[in-house]
Chains A and B, each alone.
Chain A
Amino acid sequence: MNRKTLFNLSLLSALVVSNLSYAADSKLVMEVDIPRFNVAEYHKPYVAIWLEDSKRKATQLELWYDLDMKDNEGEKWLKDIRQWWRRVGRKAEQPFDGVTSATKGPGTHKVSMALNSKQFANLPAGEYQLRIEASREVGGKEVINIPLTWPPKATNFPLTALGKTELGKINIVLVND
């Protein structure tokens, strides 16, 4: 067997595997830039990241909110992540275990999502919108939509988008270590 055949075979097996299950170390790594605001009263934004299929069926990926406040007071403002609240939040089982973290301040935040994770493992193939929504108290709101084909193909990456107000650069790479 020459090298080329071997290469083709490994490519083929990789394709087959990607349709059944993902290698333990395959992941989407997303960088989300939160801009700095020179304002007297700054609150870190609430951020939700989710996938929507063509029928708007949603898969929750990330939720950053004030989860450590007394009496779950931070949940009071979840409705202000308005699109997420409509599509995902208000229907979701609460508390939002497993996908939540504290709010994040200005800077670039890296989110790593394994393809064999609960959210991705059973995701049907198809066209999706990756939606990233930020809502800041006494600030603005912004939603970014990035088209995404599932299962992810290396040639489609990186995916990038640039927010205008409450979000900065979004950069998503597929890592197949």
Chain B
Amino acid sequence: MNISTSLKTLLSITMVMSLSFSANAHRAWILPSTTNLSGDAPWVSFDAAVSNSLFIPEHVPLRMKGLVIQDPTGKNIDAENPHTGKFKTTFDLNLVTPGTYRIGYASGGLRATWKDENGKRKMWPARGKTAKDGEFATAVPKEADALLVAQSFRRLETFVTSGEPTENTFKPTNSGLELIPVTHPNDLFAGETAKFKFLFEGLPAANAKLSIVAGNMRYRNQQNQLDLVTDADGFVNITWPEAGMYLLEAEFEDDKAIAPATVRKGSYGATFEVLPE
């Protein structure tokens, strides 16, 4: 199995976060300064980071490496003015072509966890390291206590639109866990219900677990997390309680893996802006 190079950076960061991100409050996010734009070739600024509190950069930055930006025609374009600081990476995007842009990371590959003969917890790839599938045979023991080998996929993204929203950038890649909009992600309003479909490896992702949290967490005492589950066809309806920036995270897991893996896992994260009605 090939690991997409574009995701290696993100993988290494998620390794820092921990293998199971649900057990850890650290969240990865890409935050656009605004999501709906007018005028000729407008600009958007982005922050990308991993943090506990949304959307406060206070842990580690996401890196520019592996970031893929698709313009409304599906063509990859470059970010401008990239800078990686202590807590966040920032970059700008000039929306020269009207329509909807996708900005994100996507990766996947084999991962393993086990306990060695001393009962010590091990993982491959090791923290901060990038997995090379070719090294799997030598790096991971054939048998070990609590050995778990997974095909693991991760995707993180956000969308911005200049002028009229378009759908060309929503074409599924059929790799890992993906969100396919029914409601356009740049047409979300407080009090309205948005419908999305989730795919895993190109097929409807039933029972994917979603958590949705609004930003500005520092200024409230409760997280007010929305917990939702996709239906048998992978659909989910989300009624936005109020306007704001939201992080949607989704996880999917099944046992239809190809050996040596025994489970397949997909995680998805996206930042959405919900506007006041």
Contact = CB atoms under 8 A, between A and B. Distances in A.
A73 B39 contact: yes
Interface string A60-79: 00000000000111111111
Nearest to A83: B277
Contacts of B39: 72-78
Contact of A77 (B38, B165, B187): B38
B44 to A, nearest CB: 12
Contacts of A72: 39-40
Nearest to B43: A76
Contact of B163 (A73, A74, A82, A90): A90
A131 to B, nearest CB: 13
B38 A78 contact: yes
A42 B37 CA distance: 23
Contacts of B191: none
B204 interface: no
Interface in A42-91: 71-79, 82-83, 85-86, 89-91
Given A82-B275, A82-B276, A90 B164 contact: yes
Q: Interface extent on A, as a size class?
A: 10 to 19
B36 interface: yes
Given A90-B163, A90-B165, A85 B40 contact: no
A76 B40 CA distance: 7
Given A79-B36, A82-B275, A91 B42 contact: no
A146 B42 CA distance: 33
Interface string B27-45: 0000000001111101000
A86 B187 contact: yes
A79 B42 CA distance: 11
Nearest to B34: A79
Given A82-B275, A90-B163, A90-B164, A71 B38 contact: no
Contacts of A71: 40
A90 B189 CA distance: 16
- Of the candidates B36, B38, B164, B189, the one having the most CB atoms from chain A within 10 angstroms of its own CB is B38
Contacts of B161: 90
A85 B164 contact: no
A82 B274 CA distance: 12
A118 B38 CA distance: 25
Contacts of B37: 76, 79
Given A90-B163, A90-B165, A91-B164, A85 B42 contact: no
Nearest to A75: B39
Contacts of B42: 76
Interface in B240-277: 275-277
B38 A85 contact: yes
A76 B187 contact: no
A165 to B, nearest CB: 14
Given A76-B38, A79-B36, 7 more contacts: A76-B37, A77-B39, A78-B38, A78-B39, A79-B37, A89-B38, A90-B165
9 contacts: A73-B39, A75-B38, A76-B42, A77-B38, A77-B39, A82-B275, A90-B161, A90-B164, A90-B165
Closest 7 CB pairs of A and B: A75-B39, A76-B39, A78-B38, A79-B38, A90-B164, A79-B36, A91-B164
